Amino acid sequence: MKILVFAGSTRQQSYNRRLAQQAAGMARAAGAEVTLLELADLDIPMYNADLEARGTPPDVLRLKRLMWEHPGWIICSPEYNGSYTALLKNTIDWASSPVAADSEWQDGVKPFRGKVVGLLSASNGRLGGLRSQSHLAPLLLLLECWLAPRAYALAGAASAFDADGALTQAEQRAGVQGVVDQVLWATQRLHTEPR
């Protein structure tokens, strides 16, 4: 079972990147083949249709393939001004844009269709980034993803991780584990049984 995990942040000390690392570790421990994607490793400009008309950037095609090859995803979404980040929106906009000259990617929804997605967020605020999840969920549904009904928002993130980046409280670990478990369970059933 292949699971893609990524955070909508490239900040070095990002709480959501730390959370993504924890979720990836839990999924691996459960037997999944996990790709922990760092969006900073992709050379993807701000979306611009004029730029796209000159040719889809190679790393966008790489991103599309990564998304398509992994039937289950876990997205850790930071919250900026009550919503998800521009980085995450830009990533989704590029990944969902059809490539007219490439028969494999003429369908913009192809990288998203049928993916099982679990949502996590981390913030130092009391809501833990919950509002970013509430904005991201409708976008993913529009792109024909299956959303795990369980999500987790980590509040007080500044004090939630130890020096090695691990979550310090059992309740926090259980919250993340619950999302990971649902994604693995649903991915296995939706992508191995007849539909």
Per-residue model confidence as pLDDT tens digits over 118-165:
999 999 999 999 999 999 999 999 999 999 999 999 999 999 999 999
Dist CA 33 CA 26 (whole Å) = 11
As a whole number of angstroms, the longest Cα–Cα distance in the chain is 50
Of 49-58, 84-93, 110-119, 142-151, give the lowest mean pLDDT range. Answer: 49-58
Q: Please state whether beta strands 33-37 and 72-76 pair in parallel, antiparallel, or not at all (unpaired).
A: unpaired
Note the pTM of the prediction, 2 decimals: 0.95
Residue 184 in tokens: 């693995």
13-48, pLDDT tens digit by residue?
A: 999 999 999 999 999 999 999 999 999 999 999 999
Q: Give 191's pLDDT tier (boundaries 50, 70, 90).
A: confident
* CATH code of domain 2-192: 3.40.50.360
The residue whose two tokens read 């980046």 is 165
